[in-house]
């Protein structure tokens, strides 16, 4: 099967930032076999006219919790929301069926907003992987390991066993890359982190965890160990090329130097970080040290949207304000973070993140008819400051046309109806917990 996408303004996002104002992209099965200026091609089975659009790599979401869609817009302004509200509600109400349907909804929401790859830590991972495969999104998925009873396990040791079994079960999948996911530096001890890292090394996969995110986390590590969470991870031999750290809001220059030496990657979540009042991560400092950084949306319960257009926009405003520098982070660099930058953070830049011959055909087509995208002097600025998820017209993942003229193969409204039916009793439980706070 050979597909030609023609007449669009192609932004390759390769290292040289090549672009073609009337470009051609040829897909053969799941791989890109041509990117460049218009020319005649042998045997084209499907032609897609992309006139009036921007064509670019699918965006990469380096941190999410897809199963948490049901928690969206609940108790948004409650202090210490994670421990006082989310954990109790999750333990009472989350189950396999709810996690499956919530993930299916989240995957479709992400696809329709131009995200073709995501990284997720949550519970009931087999169901989450199944939902991702059915929707056609590329995903790195890890079982959450935490030293407390959860909706799925009684102990962290039980969760570790589930996590390794998940890796063994799904490691041959076309779209799913199984990883391991200890929850956070302040919710697991050194023994659990060491066991999780042993699993990651044994299976040559990634480990992702929340780190340097919370004020109370920073206080705990300073008071208990007289070091930062990053220094602690290094001391227990869990800071290496396998690790993807989510958030890293409160990192020092010394932390950045250490992270660079250990080949660590970072998932930056500007929207959820700022919504929770946690702070603005020093991304300019991380990049100055050469640390791979990609954008994350966090869960729909945290940032409320699974939308990297919002992340790009908020990131620009936050970083320019933090460093008092209007020229900081030109739009091209921000779009790079959402695409090839995210792929590098996930160690997948050999396969995704840019439109290059031999890479996977993860491609999005963005309609430029939106009023906020006219006039189109600079396509990168239009993407960062004017575009929205609603402007995504077509999406390909692994060469499959999963969103066609804004319609996904699985209808989002049908999944929403199923999810809403499954959530009977969920809101009552949420209100009961709120009333007790």
Same fold, 2-57+353-405 and 59-315: no
Token digits of residue 330:
């030109």
* In the chain, domain spans: 2-57+353-405, 59-315
**Domain 2-57+353-405: assigned CATH number:** 2.30.40.10
Q: Give SS3 for 171.
A: coil
Q: What is the pTM of this model?
A: 0.96
Euclidean distance between CA atoms 333 and 57, whole angstroms: 14
DSSP 29-91: TTEEEEEES----S--SEEEE-TTEEEEEPEEEEEE-GGGGGGTTSSTT-TTHIIIIIHHHHH
pLDDT tens digits in sequence order for the chain, 437 residues long? 999 999 999 999 999 999 999 999 999 999 999 999 999 998 999 999 999 999 999 999 999 999 999 989 887 887 888 888 888 888 888 999 999 999 999 999 999 999 999 999 999 999 999 999 999 999 999 999 999 999 999 999 999 999 999 999 999 999 999 999 999 999 999 999 999 999 999 999 999 999 999 999 999 999 999 999 999 999 999 999 999 999 999 999 999 999 999 999 999 999 999 999 999 999 999 999 999 999 999 998 888 899 999 999 999 999 999 999 999 999 999 999 999 999 999 999 999 999 999 999 999 999 999 999 999 999 999 999 999 999 999 999 999 999 999 999 888 989 999 999 998 888 888 888 887 87
User: Hey, what CATH topology would domain 59-315 get?
Assistant: TIM Barrel (3.20.20)
Handedness of CA 139, 127, 417, 276 (dihedral sign): negative
Distance between terminal CA atoms of the chain? 58
């Amino acid at each position: 099967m050979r597909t030609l996408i023609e007449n669009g303004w192609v932004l390759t996002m390769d290292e040289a930032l090549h672009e073609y104002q009337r470009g051609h992209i040829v897909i053969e099965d799941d791989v890109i076999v041509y990117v460049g200026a218009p020319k005649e091609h042998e045997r084209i089975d499907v032609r897609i006219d992309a006139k009036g659009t921007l064509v670019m790599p699918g965006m990469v979401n380096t941190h999410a919790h897809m199963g948490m869609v049901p928690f969206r817009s609940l108790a948004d302004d409650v202090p210490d929301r994670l421990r006082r509200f989310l954990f109790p509600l999750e333990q009472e109400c989350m189950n396999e069926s709810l996690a499956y349907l919530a993930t299916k909804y989240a995957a479709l929401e992400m696809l329709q907003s131009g995200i073709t790859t995501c990284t997720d830590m949550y519970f009931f991972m087999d169901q989450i992987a199944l939902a991702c495969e059915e929707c056609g999104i590329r995903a790195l998925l890890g079982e959450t390991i935490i030293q407390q009873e959860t909706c799925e396990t009684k102990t962290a040791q039980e969760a570790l066993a589930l996590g390794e079994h998940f890796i063994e079960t799904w490691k041959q999948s076309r779209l799913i890359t199984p990883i391991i996911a200890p929850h956070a530096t302040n919710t697991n001890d050194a023994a659990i982190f060491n066991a999780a890292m042993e699993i990651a090394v044994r299976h040559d996969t990634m480990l992702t965890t929340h780190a340097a995110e919370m004020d109370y986390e920073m206080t705990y590590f300073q008071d208990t160990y007289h070091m930062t969470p990053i220094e602690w991870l290094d001391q227990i031999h869990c800071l290496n090329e396998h690790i993807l750290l989510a958030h890293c809001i409160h990192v020092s220059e010394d932390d950045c130097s250490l992270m660079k030496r250990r080949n660590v990657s970072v998932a930056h979540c500007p929207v959820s970080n700022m919504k929770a009042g946690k702070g603005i991560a020093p991304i300019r400092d991380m990049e100055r040290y050469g640390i791979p950084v990609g954008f994350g949306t966090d869960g729909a319960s945290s940032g409320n949207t699974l939308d990297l257009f919002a992340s790009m926009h908020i990131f620009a405003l936050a970083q320019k304000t933090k460093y008092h520098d209007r020229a900081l982070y030109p739009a091209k660099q921000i779009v790079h973070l959402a695409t090839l930058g995210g792929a590098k953070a996930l160690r997948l830049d050999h396969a995704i993140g840019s439109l290059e011959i031999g890479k996977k055909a993860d491609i999005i087509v963005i309609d430029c008819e939106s009023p906020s995208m006219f006039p189109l002097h600079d396509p990168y600025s239009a993407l960062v400051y004017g575009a929205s998820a609603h402007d995504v017209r077509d999406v390909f993942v692994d060469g499959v046309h999963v969103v066609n003229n804004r319609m996904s193969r699985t209808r989002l409204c049908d999944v929403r109806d199923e999810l809403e039916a499954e959530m009977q009793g969920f809101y009552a439980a949420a209100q009961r917990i709120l009333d007790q706070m």
